[in-house]
Structure 1
Amino acid sequence: MNTIKISRITIKDLLLLRKISIQTFTETFTATNSAENLAAYVQDKLNLEQLTFEISNPNSQFYIAYANDEAVGYIKLNFDDAQTERIAGNTLEVHRIYVSQAFHGKKIGQLLLDKALQIGKDSGVGSIWLGVWEENHKAIQFYTKNGFVIFDKHDFMMGNDKQTDLLMKLNI
C-alpha cells in the first residue's frame, strides 16, 4: 500500500486541482453520461476561472490526497455562505469528493471523508451533509456505511441533463 498524505491546497495548486478534478470527475461519470453533457459540465464548473473563485473563497477548503507524490483524489468542503444549499443549523458541506479510478478500493475516499469529519468536529459544526447522484449506488452505499442518512434531494445539472442528487447528512 502506498503512503497516503492529505494536504490542504491553495491557489498555487490551481493547475493540479484542475487536473485532478477533471480526471476524477470524467472517470466517475463517463460511463453514465453523454460526452456532450460531461464536456459541458467540465467547461462550466471545472474551468480555471471557476476553480480560482472557489479556492479563493475563505469559506471553502480543498484537500488533495497523495499516494507517494501522485495526486489521487481530493475533497472540497464548504462552510457558511459557500454551501450550495441552505441547511438548518451549523453545518459543513462536502461539496466534492473524488478518487482516481486506479485508487478505488484503497481507502482513499475513507481517508478524505475522515478528514472532513475531523474538520467538522474541530470547527464545532453539528452536522456534515452532501449531495450524491441518485444513480451513484456505490457512493450512496459508502456514505450510508459511514452513518449518513438521506434527508432531502435537489436538482443537479449535468450539461443539459437535469439529474437528482440525494442529500445525505451525518450528525456529529
Structure 2
Amino acid sequence: MFIRPATAADAALLADLSAVTMREAFGPPHNPAPVVDAYIQSALTPERLASELDDKRSSFFIADQDGSAVGFAKLRRHAPPRRMPLPYRGRGQAIEIQRIYLLNSQVGRGQGRLLMNYCLDWARQQGYKAVWLGVWERNERALGFYQRMGFERFGFHYFQFGPERQRDYWLVKIIDA
C-alpha cells in the first residue's frame, strides 16, 4: 500500500471514497440509509471536500492499493476537548485524526494499521505529542482497532446524526514517548 498527501485535485476522489466508506461503516443495519445519504449529501460533497482540502488546518492522506484509492485519513489542527489529559491540552500539543476510513474489502489485511501508523508518524514529525479522535460508541470494530493501536478513552461528546443524538468516545494516544 502506498500513502500520499491529498491535493486539491483529489476532492472528487475523496467525496466518492467518503460516500462508500460512510455507507459501509454507518449504513444499515446501524443507521437508516436515508439518514446516511442525507449526511453524505450535506457533509461529503466534492465542493465541501475541496474547501476542507484548502483549509490550512487540515491534512489529508490517501491510501492506494494497486492504483486504486482504498482509504484515507484527515488530520485537523484545532483545540482538543477540555477533558484531554494535561499537558496535551495545550496549543500545538495534540492533533485530531478527524477521519480515518478504509474500504471494507481492505479491512483485516493490515492496511488500517499502516494508515494509522502513517498518521502517527506524520503527527510526530510535525512536533505533536498526542493524537486524539472520536469514535461512535457502537462502532465495536473501530473501538477494538483503536485499543489495539494503543488509544485510551478520556471522555465523550454527542454527535447529531440525522434524527439521532449519538455518543462518540474521545480517545487519545500519546506519541512523544
TM-score, length-normalised on structure 2?
Answer: 0.90
Map of 1:72 onto structure 2: 70
Is the contact made by 2:11 and 2:47 (CA closer than 8 Å) also made in structure 1? no
Is the contact made by 2:14 and 2:46 (CA closer than 8 Å) also made in structure 1? no
- RMSD (Å), alpha carbons: 1.4
Alignment of 1:53-68 (within 5 A): 53-68=51-66
Q: Which runs of 5+ in 1 are unaligned?
A: none
Q: Which runs of 4+ in 1 moved over 6 A?
A: none
| Structure 1 residue matching 2:47: 3-state secondary structure | helix
Aligned-residue offset at 1:158: 1.5
Q: Distance in 1 between matches of 2:123 and 2:43?
A: 25
Q: Which runs of 5+ in 2 are unaligned?
A: none
1:61-102 Cα deviation digits (max 9, x unpaired): 111111110110110011136x7x565121110000110011
Map of 2:111 onto structure 1: 108
Task: Quote the sequence identity (%).
Answer: 35
Alignment of 1:34-45 (within 5 A): 34-45=32-43
Alignment of 1:82-121 (within 5 A): 85=81, 87=84, 88-89=89-90, 90-121=93-124
Aligned-residue offset at 1:49: 2.5
Q: Distance in 1 between matches of 2:42 and 2:174?
A: 32
Is the contact made by 1:64 and 1:73 (CA closer than 8 Å) also made in structure 2? yes
Map of 1:157 onto structure 2: 160
Is the contact made by 1:37 and 1:161 (CA closer than 8 Å) also made in structure 2? no
Q: Distance in 1 between matches of 2:77 and 2:150?
A: 21
2:11 to 10, 14, 35: 14
Map of 2:138 onto structure 1: 135
Task: Answer 1 or 2: which has greater helix percent.
Answer: 1
